């Protein structure tokens, strides 16, 4: 269990919350659902009820083996072992109780793919970070998420609903897509924010382009920051 704590693995134990998560995804009969992190499988059979197909990916070999034994009877389920973020999987709906340690990776991975909707559970503090629109606490991930995604908090989840319980509360968010970005653009936005205390004019010089502005990143709209990143990556 200690190893799994270090991996950020805290398993949802509430059947009612699991049902609420799946219901919020509004899965239809033609949907291909991706579940990142099979875990103990609290979501998996619920996802299979209405979907055309469910692809559930588990990185932990022990949990993957347990899932093979537990869910071999589900005809529309494909279980895969490995890192979902390193796989090229097609899906229409994403549903996941994300490990806290992989929340940022998940968002950066998600905005590079086309999908209909996603319902994911993340650390409450991370959800607040995604919603940050301006100010000195704004981060690259906030810009990327705000530009690409509409994110709505739909359910607060207390830490007591997990085994083992984490130190913080969680929130379930519903996500729909506005734009898709390339990995190169995402990397460039992250690099821009490594100079966030500098003016845009100064950052432009560092990145090889001219920008006639003395604003800082925290003062700029998401779209303008993305446009600068696109100019740099041309």
**Which of the residues in the chain have pLDDT under 50?**
1-7
Of 63, 87, 47, nearest to 7 (Cα)?
63
In 10 A of CB 20, how many CB atoms?
A: 15
CA dihedral 70, 74, 75, 76 (to 10 degrees): -110
Please tell me the distance from the alpha carbon of residue 49 to that of residue 45, in angstroms, as a whole number: 7
Task: Return the pLDDT at 194.
Answer: 94
Task: Return the pLDDT at 99.
Answer: 83
In 10 A of CB 85, how many CB atoms?
A: 15
Residue ranges in the chain assigned as alpha helix (H): 2-6, 15-24, 44-48, 61-71, 103-110, 124-130, 140-148, 183-192, 200-207, 222-233
Task: Return the pLDDT at 8.
Answer: 54
User: Taking a C-beta distance cutoff of 8 angstroms, is the pair 51, 27 a contact?
Assistant: yes
What domains does the chain contain, in order, with CATH numbers? 2-180 (3.40.50.150), 185-233 (no CATH)
Task: Return the pLDDT at 105.
Answer: 96
Of 155, 146, 124, 137, nearest to 196 (Cα)?
137
Query: What is the tens place of the pLDDT at every residue in 198-217?
Result: 999 999 999 999 999 999 99
In 10 A of CB 144, how many CB atoms?
A: 27
User: Taking a C-beta distance cutoff of 8 angstroms, is the pair 116, 142 a contact?
Assistant: no
């Amino acid at each position: 269990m200690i190893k799994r704590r270090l991996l950020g693995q805290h398993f949802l134990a509430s059947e009612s919350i699991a049902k609420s998560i799946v219901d919020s995804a509004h899965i239809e009969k033609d949907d291909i659902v991706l579940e990142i992190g099979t875990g103990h499988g609290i979501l998996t059979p619920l996802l299979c009820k209405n979907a055309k197909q469910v692809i559930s990916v588990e990185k932990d070999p022990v949990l993957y083996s347990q899932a093979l034994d537990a869910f071999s009877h589900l005809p529309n389920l494909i279980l895969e072992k490995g890192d979902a973020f390193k796989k090229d999987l097609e899906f229409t709906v994403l549903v996941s109780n994300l490990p806290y340690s992989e929340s940022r990776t998940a968002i950066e991975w998600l905005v590079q793919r086309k999908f209909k909707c996603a319902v994911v559970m993340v650390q409450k503090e991370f959800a607040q970070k995604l919603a940050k629109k301006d100010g000195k606490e704004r981060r690259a991930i906030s810009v990327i998420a705000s530009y690409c995604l509409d994110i709505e908090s739909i359910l607060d989840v207390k830490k007591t609903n997990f085994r083992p319980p984490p130190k913080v509360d969680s929130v379930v968010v519903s996500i729909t897509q506005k734009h898709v970005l390339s990995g190169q653009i995402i990397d460039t936005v992250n690099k821009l924010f490594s100079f966030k205390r500098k003016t845009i004019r100064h950052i432009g010089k560092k990145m090889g382009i001219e920008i006639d502005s003395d604003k800082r990143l925290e003062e700029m709209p998401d779209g303008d920051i993305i446009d600068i990143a696109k100019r740099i990556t041309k």
